[in-house]
């Protein structure tokens, strides 16, 4: 049996954790402050992946006109509410912790590369009781240019002490796949995340439908 990659880089929202309930609550809070109606959680699942500002842009566009001024006014409301309610409804996807335990037992180094602000990413990891699981946790504000820029992925690999040639990326969106491709790293996509298109159309090297298939997919790419 082939060995596992030395380093595995994970996206966070929609990949490791179903954060849609809390992101939806924060978005709807911000929209309410701007005099807008809320949007359903299922719609929010397809708006996530590019950071808070883009999420708010999409929420505004879905409920009326979207202007830069409205976005700037709404972002502080979103971030304050979300930071205070970051793990009310967010839960790891089924099988995530078992898979992370298995990878750690095999000696793999794990890291996070997310378009969340790094402070919020770290807060979510702590709230889930995951401190110590990841060798690095880089948000969109940890680098000059976030995903889909290759530098974000490469910075996460370097921060984890890894090398691109022995790394695989795991994500849920075209942003993740494009970032991994740009970095020259194989990519596994999950089918249950927040993608704005069918996961089979993302162009990942492997597609999994449950975390119990992750180790096999990673061995195939090692």
Give the model confidence (pLDDT) of 41-52 as tens digits.
Answer: 878 888 876 778
Give the model confidence (pLDDT) of 7-41 as tens digits.
Answer: 999 999 999 999 999 999 999 999 999 999 999 88
Give the model confidence (pLDDT) of 103-151 as tens digits.
Answer: 999 999 999 999 999 999 999 999 999 999 999 999 999 999 999 999 9
Neighbours of 1 (CB within 10 A): 6
- Of 141, 82, 87, 81, residue with least CA distance to 114: 141
CA-to-CA separations, 218 to 40, 97, 110, 164, 213, in angstroms, rounded: 34, 16, 13, 14, 9
At residue 1, the pLDDT reads 46
Q: pLDDT class for 2, splitting at 50, 70, 90?
A: low
Domain ranges of the chain: 7-18+91-221, 20-84
Query: What span, in angstroms and rounded, lies between the C-alpha atoms of 184 and 164?
Result: 7
Asked if the domains 7-18+91-221 and 20-84 are classified in one and the same CATH topology, the answer is: no
User: Could you tell me what percent of the chain has a pLDDT over 70?
Assistant: 98
Q: Is the dihedral of CA 99, 171, 55, 150 positive or negative?
A: positive
Q: Is the pTM of this model over 0.85?
A: yes
Q: Residue 137 is inside which H or E element, if any?
A: strand 136-138
Q: Where would I find the H helices in 20-173?
A: 20-33, 41-44, 52-62, 68-84, 96-105, 118-127, 150-159
Are the C-beta atoms of 193 and 216 separated by less than 8 Å? no
Q: What is the mean pLDDT of the chain?
A: 95
Query: What span, in angstroms and rounded, lies between the C-alpha atoms of 174 and 181?
Result: 10
Query: What span, in angstroms and rounded, lies between the C-alpha atoms of 90 and 151?
Result: 28
One of 1.10.150.240, 3.20.20.80, 3.30.70.120, 2.30.30.30 is the CATH number of 20-84, namely 1.10.150.240
Fold of 7-18+91-221: Rossmann fold (3.40.50)
- Of 142, 136, 93, 130, residue with least CA distance to 112: 136
CB burial of 35-72 (b: ≥16 within 10 Å; e: otherwise) equals: ebebbebeebbebbbbbbbebbbbbbebbeeeeeebbe
At residue 47, the pLDDT reads 82
Asked if 205 is an active-site residue, the reply is no
Are the C-beta atoms of 84 and 26 separated by less than 8 Å? no
Q: Which of 11, 18, 22, 176 is catalytic?
A: 11
């Amino acid at each position: 049996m082939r060995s596992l990659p030395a380093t595995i880089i994970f996206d966070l929202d929609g990949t490791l954790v179903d954060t849609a309930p809390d992101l939806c609550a924060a978005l709807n809070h911000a929209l309410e402050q701007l005099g807008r109606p809320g949007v359903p959680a299922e719609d929010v699942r397809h708006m996530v992946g590019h950071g808070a500002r883009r999420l708010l842009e999409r929420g505004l566009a879905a409920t009326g006109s979207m202007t830069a001024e409205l976005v700037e006014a709404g972002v502080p409301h979103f971030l304050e509410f979300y930071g205070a309610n970051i793990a009310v409804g967010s839960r790891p996807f089924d099988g995530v912790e078992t898979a992370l335990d298995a990878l750690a037992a095999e000696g793999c180094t794990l890291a996070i590369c997310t378009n969340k602000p790094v402070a919020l990413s770290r807060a979510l990891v702590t709230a889930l009781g995951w401190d110590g699981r990841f060798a690095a946790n880089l948000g969109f504000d940890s680098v000059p240019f976030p995903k889909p820029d290759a530098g974000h992925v490469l910075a996460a690999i370097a921060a984890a002490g890894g090398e691109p040639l022995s790394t695989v990326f795991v994500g849920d969106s075209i942003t993740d796949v494009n970032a991994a491709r740009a970095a020259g790293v194989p990519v596994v996509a999950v089918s249950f995340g927040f993608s704005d298109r069918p996961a089979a159309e993302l162009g990942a090297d492997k597609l999994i439908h449950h975390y119990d298939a992750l180790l096999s997919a990673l061995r195939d790419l090692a």
